[in-house]
């Protein structure tokens, strides 16, 4: 990542330290990784929380650190370091090494930052650590937390969470626990957290006959111990809000005559964006080009407690060309014909005991539904964050679309309540065209009105 | 097998012989007095009451003579009681318990080390090898400034650490003893490597608003044995000032002294020294006799600084790049052994029972006169003490002393476990060890404790305490070990696999 000199200087005063569990985990404690975890090893969840000066006022960073120590007592597996067994399968040795904690300052106010043209492509990368695991596995922290103080008194908390530890839902859950631990620091009520190890996950020892390979997983060239994949083309990131009224417009556009139909919001957004992308990208001959991956929260897995990679990953393939399919049909397909690929993915990973390298995000165009992730549940001093931005680092060439809630529920903000925030990671060369297509649909013009 | 049986019975016979000898020599006075008293009693019985009365009347006593005799007796008695040194009692003490956020697991220490010394892999290797064999555990603590990569040791952080450690320990002490700040007559603070102006003792006086006529002392530069030097100073002061309380604060502030270079001999302290402190309340008030935990019996100080090698063996200096660090020489253990021998020679006659002293004297005479090749007799100090607190300077120190004094694993358990849980906390480690013994419920009334500390200079200081009342763990024996005493003792492997 090469930043311009001015950009780099915006965030300064970097101080590094480590936070770990307050309690001794014990010697020789090991956390085994499931096949799903290992499939995700080249991806990193990044979440940035922005808090206004009111929320940050009187916030003692020492107390925040203490709360993190408290939280890590339950999430001790995230404080370990990766090792490889004799077969080459990675696992986590829970040696209490800890997460990296970064303190920084920025000379702009939060609003000025968010209004900058290249905020989503470049500046936000300075607010959350871009460090990946490797080249030395044993000394790479899988979790990095950055706290940046702004000129206006506000602050941002940037969490970099290796996908091997869990998905975005797990990461959000962890931060929410930190916020709760901070509120609890005065009182001594313990957190009743049940740690569910994923070791009981079904692991097929004898390889089952392969029906077909999962569409959502793509092999990449071996990356050894440096867990990041390099793209064939430069990827760019941009974000925009969709207000509640824009959603209503979309709804009417899709449902057409049958206005009474309940059209799910996420799938509608996906359908529209898919069509725009299809217009921009060339070549729809192969079935692979007409396939998308969908990631959603698994409603059956408990939201409390510690769980790892449990999101539902499914794939949809169209028989016809996307451009010729009408939005309503697309939505129906996305809802009804998405095939859960997790079992197949696990089989493939287990076949060589987790040694091969894969990517999931960006293997096909990936749509990630983060509406159910309680991203606004992380509170400081009783205040919810003004804005939460969530994305994944290490997305492949096909790109990814993330749909997040635009604000905390009941916030009454201009772009909150009922709206959505959409982040798209896409090949840089095609981004201007994509933006134009989206504008034709009435989306993406709300780029700079984030207050 | 036949050969072993005679050995066994021989050793049993030897044991009984030894026991008999010890009993005989240690109670010689009683044993000689008893027959004499019995003889007199028999004689009196034989004489009968009338003869005794006659004997009494035949003695003619003058009034003047009687008065003179009684005055003489009263005068001698008063003189004896007045010139007897005041008894010094240790009412209670409190050890600083570091917060969880200061915890440094091995893995974190090594990772930080690699990031800070990234172009010196050999130094990193060295630190790893030291840590593996150090005997430290995963819960030792370093001050917040040292947790940064690279560490940020400035004066403010050092003061911050001093305030954290000293004020916590003092607050704990006030709570345990019910002492009021205005009742402190003497205040002694010892911290070897951090000596700001105004001094740390002034900092304590400022924080707790002590009286303006409090006698305060600040000892710096005196190394890990400064704790016992403070005790000695307090004892001398309490002889001069009647009815007084003395508070001693022993600590070592690590923040300003974390070595930032890569000279190996100087990296060693980084691996071993950890955050810690203790506050102790001593008094000579008779009203405290009942509640006090210990009575101070002896303090013996030995200084080997006259020898150049001993003087230079723990030396603070700058390395080639200008980083200040403490350099430990290779003959540290040998010099420590010498200093210990010196100290034992002085303390032996004060504490050993007559049986041991006699044996030692006989062997000494024998070696000098008859045959120099006789093995020198090492007195059995287990006869003189129930508990041993050896300064947790490092695993090597404890091993060496265990060998020299022929102590069992249980005797050195307090020292080893303190090293494991808290690391080398310098002058306050003796108090953590004492706390461990109390927390285990092993301290009974009448038990004698021997505290030995080594320090730069090279010094070896000892203090002997006698337990005044059995210490109940539930009430006042817990302290810094409260939440982890059940996990101890732990087995500490020779080399920990990192």
Across the interface, which of B99, B114, B147 has its CB nearest the CB of A17? B147
| Domains parsed from chain A with CATH numbers | 7-187 (3.30.559.10), 227-372+395-440 (3.30.559.10)
pLDDT category at A449 given cuts 50, 70, 90 is very low
For residue B313, which of B413, B224, B198, B429 has the smallest C-alpha distance? Answer: B224
- Cβ atoms of B194 and B158 closer than 8 Å: yes
Out of A167-171, A195-199, A429-433, B142-146, pick the least confident. Answer: A195-199
pLDDT in tens, B59-87: 767 788 888 999 999 999 999 988 888 89
pLDDT category at A2 given cuts 50, 70, 90 is low
Cis ω before B458 (30° cut-off from 0): yes
- Cβ atoms of A364 and A389 closer than 8 Å: no
The pLDDT of residue A415 is 47
Q: Does the structure show a pLDDT above 90 at B178?
A: yes
Average per-residue pLDDT for chain A: 83
Q: Does the structure show a pLDDT above 90 at B369?
A: no
Q: Exposed, middle or buried: residue A10 (CB in 10 Å: 0-12, 13-18, 19+)?
A: buried
Reading the block at residue A268, the tokens are 């509608």
The pLDDT of residue A11 is 87
Average pLDDT, integer, range B182-194: 95
The pLDDT of residue B368 is 80
Q: What are phi and psi of B251, to 5 degrees?
A: -155, 175
Q: Does the structure show a pLDDT above 50 at A198?
A: no
The pLDDT of residue A451 is 29
Q: Among B105, B146, B495, which would you mutate to test the A interface (most chain A Cβ atoms within 10 Å of its Cβ)? A: B105
Which A-chain residues 48-77 have CB contacts (< 8 A) with chain B? 62, 65-66, 69-70
The pLDDT of residue B353 is 87
Helices (H), B241-378: 264-272, 308-312, 332-351, 354-365
Whether residue A96 and residue B108 make contact (CB cut-off 8 A), yes or no, is yes
The pLDDT of residue A339 is 87
Across the interface, which of B111, B139, B147 has its CB nearest the CB of A97? B111
- Cβ atoms of B382 and B411 closer than 8 Å: yes
Out of A23-37, B3-17, B18-32, pick the least confident. Answer: B3-17
Reading the block at residue B181, the tokens are 């700040």
Whether residue A69 and residue B149 make contact (CB cut-off 8 A), yes or no, is no
Q: Chain B partners of A96 at a C-beta cutoff of 8 Å?
A: 105, 107-108, 138
Work out the minimum CA distance from B178 to partner chain A, whole angstroms. 26
Distances (CA, A) of B432 to A91, B141, B426: 38, 14, 11
List the catalytic residues of B: 224, 303, 387, 391, 420, 424
Q: Does the structure show a pLDDT above 90 at B52?
A: no
**Chain B contact for A20 (CB, 8 A cutoff):** yes
Whether residue B148 and residue A15 make contact (CB cut-off 8 A), yes or no, is yes
Work out the minimum CA distance from A139 to partner chain B, whole angstroms. 6
For residue B127, which of B110, B143, B141 has the smallest C-alpha distance? Answer: B110
The pLDDT of residue A146 is 94
* Rounded Cα gap, residues B401 and B417, in angstroms: 15
Q: Does the structure show a pLDDT above 70 at B334?
A: yes
Q: Which residues of B touch A (CB under 8 A)?
A: 99-101, 103, 105-108, 111-112, 114-115, 137-139, 144, 147-149, 152
pLDDT in tens, A265-287: 888 889 889 888 888 886 656 66
Q: Does the structure show a pLDDT above 50 at A90?
A: yes
Rounded to the nearest 10 degrees, the angle between the axes of helix B354-365 and helix B4-26 is 110
The pLDDT of residue B7 is 60
End-to-end, the C-alpha distance of chain B in Å comes to: 45
Whether residue B149 and residue A16 make contact (CB cut-off 8 A), yes or no, is yes
Which A-chain residues 294-313 have CB contacts (< 8 A) with chain B? none
**Chain B contact for A135 (CB, 8 A cutoff):** no
Out of A164-178, A183-197, B338-352, pick the least confident. Answer: A183-197
- Cβ atoms of A33 and A85 closer than 8 Å: no
Helix H or strand E encompassing B130: helix B121-133
The pLDDT of residue B18 is 82
Q: Exposed, middle or buried: residue B478 (CB in 10 Å: 0-12, 13-18, 19+)?
A: middle
What ipTM describes this predicted complex? Answer: 0.86
Q: Does the structure show a pLDDT above 70 at A197?
A: no
| Neighbouring residues of B105: CB distance < 8 A, sequence distance ≥ 6 | A20, A24, A95, A96, A97, A98, B138
The pLDDT of residue A3 is 56
pLDDT category at B195 given cuts 50, 70, 90 is very high
Q: Does the structure show a pLDDT above 90 at B219?
A: yes
pLDDT category at A302 given cuts 50, 70, 90 is low
Helices (H), A317-404: 327-336, 342-351
Out of A61-75, A122-136, A187-201, B86-100, pick the least confident. Answer: A187-201
Angle, CA of A180, A186 and A191, to the nearest 5°: 40
Whether residue A96 and residue B149 make contact (CB cut-off 8 A), yes or no, is no
Q: Does the structure show a pLDDT above 90 at B462?
A: yes
For residue A176, which of A76, A306, A63 has the smallest C-alpha distance? Answer: A306
The pLDDT of residue A411 is 55
Q: Chain A partners of B115 at a C-beta cutoff of 8 Å?
A: 16
Cis ω before B150 (30° cut-off from 0): yes
The pLDDT of residue A305 is 61
| Neighbouring residues of B21: CB distance < 8 A, sequence distance ≥ 6 | B355
Q: Does the structure show a pLDDT above 80 at A423?
A: yes
- Cβ atoms of B270 and B259 closer than 8 Å: yes
Whether residue B105 and residue A97 make contact (CB cut-off 8 A), yes or no, is yes
Work out the minimum CA distance from B265 to partner chain A, whole angstroms. 26
Q: Where are the beta strands (DSSP E) in B39-101?
A: 88-95
Q: Regarding beta strands B276-283 and B88-95, do their DSSP bridges make them parallel or antiparallel, or are they unpaired?
A: antiparallel
- What is the DSSP track for A191-220? P---B--GGGS---SSPPPPS---SS-EE-
Q: Chain A partners of B111 at a C-beta cutoff of 8 Å?
A: 18, 97, 139, 141
Q: Chain B partners of A17 at a C-beta cutoff of 8 Å?
A: 147-149
Whether residue B108 and residue A98 make contact (CB cut-off 8 A), yes or no, is yes
Reading the block at residue B460, the tokens are 């070896």
Reading the block at residue A263, the tokens are 């059209």
Kindly provide the b/e burial profile for residues B185-213, where b requires at least 16 CB atoms within 10 angstroms of the residue's own CB. bbbbbbbbbbebeebbbbbbbeebebeee
Q: What is the CA radius of gyration of chain B?
A: 27
* Rounded Cα gap, residues A140 and A133, in angstroms: 5
Average pLDDT, integer, range B322-326: 91
Average pLDDT, integer, range B256-260: 88
For residue B172, which of B276, B96, B250, B281 has the smallest C-alpha distance? Answer: B96
Interchain CB contacts (distance < 8 Å): A and B: 54
pLDDT in tens, A67-85: 899 889 889 999 999 999 9
Q: What percent of chain A has pLDDT over 90?
A: 24
Whether residue B107 and residue A95 make contact (CB cut-off 8 A), yes or no, is yes
Q: Chain B partners of A23 at a C-beta cutoff of 8 Å?
A: 100
Q: Among A95, A104, A140, which would you mutate to test the B interface (most chain B Cβ atoms within 10 Å of its Cβ)? A: A95
Across the interface, which of A15, A18, A69 has its CB nearest the CB of B108? A18
Distances (CA, A) of A11 to A111, A121, B147: 15, 16, 22
Rounded to the nearest 10 degrees, the angle between the axes of helix B264-272 and helix B121-133 is 40
Whether residue B152 and residue A15 make contact (CB cut-off 8 A), yes or no, is yes
């Amino acid at each position: 990542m090469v930043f311009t000199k001015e950009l780099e200087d915006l965030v300064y005063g970097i101080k590094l330290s480590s936070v770990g569990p307050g309690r001794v985990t014990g010697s020789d404690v090991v956390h085994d990784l499931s096949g799903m975890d290992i499939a995700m090893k080249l991806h990193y969840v990044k979440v940035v929380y922005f808090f206004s000066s009111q929320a940050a006022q009187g916030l003692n960073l020492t107390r925040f650190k203490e709360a993190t120590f408290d939280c890590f007592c339950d999430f001790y597996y995230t404080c370990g370091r990766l090792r490889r067994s004799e077969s080459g399968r990675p696992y986590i040795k829970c040696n209490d090494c800890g997460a990296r904690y970064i303190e920084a300052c920025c000379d702009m106010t939060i609003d000025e930052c968010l209004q900058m043209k290249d905020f989503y492509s470049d500046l936000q990368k300075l607010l959350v650590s871009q460090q990946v695991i490797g080249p030395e596995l044993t000394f790479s922290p899988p979790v990095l937390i950055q706290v940046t103080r702004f000129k206006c008194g506000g602050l941002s908390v940037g969490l970099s969470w290796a996908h091997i530890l869990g998905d975005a839902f797990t990461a959000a859950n962890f931060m929410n626990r930190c916020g709760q631990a901070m509120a609890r620091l005065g009182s001594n009520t313990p957190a009743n957290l049940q740690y569910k190890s994923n070791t009981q996950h079904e692991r097929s020892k004898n390889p089952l006959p392969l029906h077909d390979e999962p569409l959502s997983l793509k092999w990449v060239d071996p990356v050894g111990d440096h867990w990041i994949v390099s793209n064939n083309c430069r990827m760019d990131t941009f974000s925009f809000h969709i207000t509640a009224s824009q959603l209503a417009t979309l709804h009417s556009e899709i449902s057409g005559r049958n206005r009474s139909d309940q059209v799910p919001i996420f799938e509608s957004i996906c359908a529209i964006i898919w069509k725009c992308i299809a217009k921009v990208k060339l070549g729809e001959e192969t079935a692979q080009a007409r396939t998308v991956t969908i990631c959603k929260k698994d409603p059956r897995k408990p939201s409390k407690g510690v769980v790892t990679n449990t999101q539902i990953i499914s794939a949809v393939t169209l028989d016809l060309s996307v451009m010729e399919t009408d939005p309503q049909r697309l939505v129906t397909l996305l809802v009804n014909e998405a095939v859960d690929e997790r079992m197949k993915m696990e089989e493939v990973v287990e076949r060589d005991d987790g040694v091969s390298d894969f990517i999931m995000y960006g293997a096909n165009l990936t749509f990630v539904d983060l509406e159910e992730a309680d991203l606004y549940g992380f509170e400081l001093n009783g205040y919810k964050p003004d804005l939460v931005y969530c994305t994944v680092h290490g997305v492949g060439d096909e790109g990814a679309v993330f749909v997040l809630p635009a604000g905390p529920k009941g916030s009454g903000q201009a772009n909150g309540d009922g709206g959505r925030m959409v982040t798209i990671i896409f090949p840089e060369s095609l981004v201007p065209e994509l933006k134009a297509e989206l504008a034709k649909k009435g989306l993406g013009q709300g780029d700079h009105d984030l207050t | 097998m036949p050969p072993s049986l005679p050995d066994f019975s021989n050793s049993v016979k030897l044991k009984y012989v030894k026991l008999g000898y010890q009993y005989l020599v240690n109670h010689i006075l009683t044993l000689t007095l008893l027959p004499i008293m019995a003889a007199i009693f028999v004689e009196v019985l034989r004489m009968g009451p009338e003869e005794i009365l006659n004997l009494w009347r035949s003695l003619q006593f003058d009034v003047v003579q009687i008065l003179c005799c009684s005055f003489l007796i009263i005068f001698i008695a008063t003189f004896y009681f007045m010139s007897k040194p005041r008894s010094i009692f240790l009412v209670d003490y409190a050890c600083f318990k570091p917060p969880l956020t200061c915890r440094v697991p091995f893995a974190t220490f090594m990772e930080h080390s690699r990031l800070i010394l990234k172009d010196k892999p050999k130094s990193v290797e060295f630190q790893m090898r030291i840590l593996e064999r150090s005997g430290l555990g995963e819960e030792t603590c370093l001050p917040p400034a040292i947790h940064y990569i690279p560490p940020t040791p400035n004066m403010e952080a050092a003061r911050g650490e001093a305030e954290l450690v000293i004020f916590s320990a003092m607050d704990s002490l006030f709570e345990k003893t019910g002492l009021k700040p205005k009742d402190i007559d003497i205040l002694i603070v010892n911290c070897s490597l951090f000596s700001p102006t105004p001094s740390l003792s002034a900092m304590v006086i400022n924080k707790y608003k002590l009286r303006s006529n409090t006698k305060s002392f600040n000892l710096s530069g005196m190394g890990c044995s400064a704790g016992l030097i403070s005790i000695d100073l307090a004892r001398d002061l309490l002889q001069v000032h009647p009815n007084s309380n003395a508070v001693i604060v022993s600590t070592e502030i690590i923040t300003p002294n974390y070595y930032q270079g890569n000279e190996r001999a100087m990296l060693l302290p980084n691996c071993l020294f950890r955050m810690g402190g203790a506050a102790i309340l001593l008094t000579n008030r008779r009203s405290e006799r009942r509640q006090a935990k210990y009575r101070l019996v002896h303090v013996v100080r030995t200084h080997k600084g006259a020898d150049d090698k001993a003087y230079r063996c723990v030396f603070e200096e700058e390395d080639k790049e200008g980083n200040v660090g403490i350099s430990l020489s290779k003959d540290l253990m040998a010099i420590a052994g010498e200093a210990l021998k010196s100290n034992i020679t002085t303390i032996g006659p004060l504490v050993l029972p007559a049986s041991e002293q006699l044996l030692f004297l006989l062997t000494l005479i024998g070696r000098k006169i008859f045959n120099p090749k006789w093995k020198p007799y090492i007195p059995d100090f287990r006869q003189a003490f129930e508990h041993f607190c050896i300064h947790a300077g490092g695993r090597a120190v404890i091993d060496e002393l265990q060998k020299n004094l022929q102590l069992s694993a249980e005797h050195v358990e307090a020292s080893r476990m303190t090293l494991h849980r808290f690391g080398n906390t310098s002058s306050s480690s003796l108090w953590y060890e004492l706390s461990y013994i109390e927390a285990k419920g092993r301290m009974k009334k009448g038990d004698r404790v021997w505290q030995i500390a080594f320090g730069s200079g090279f010094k070896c200081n000892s203090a002997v305490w006698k337990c005044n009342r059995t210490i109940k763990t539930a009430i006042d024996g817990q302290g810094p070990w409260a939440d982890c005493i059940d996990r101890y003792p732990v087995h500490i492997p020779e080399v920990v696999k990192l």
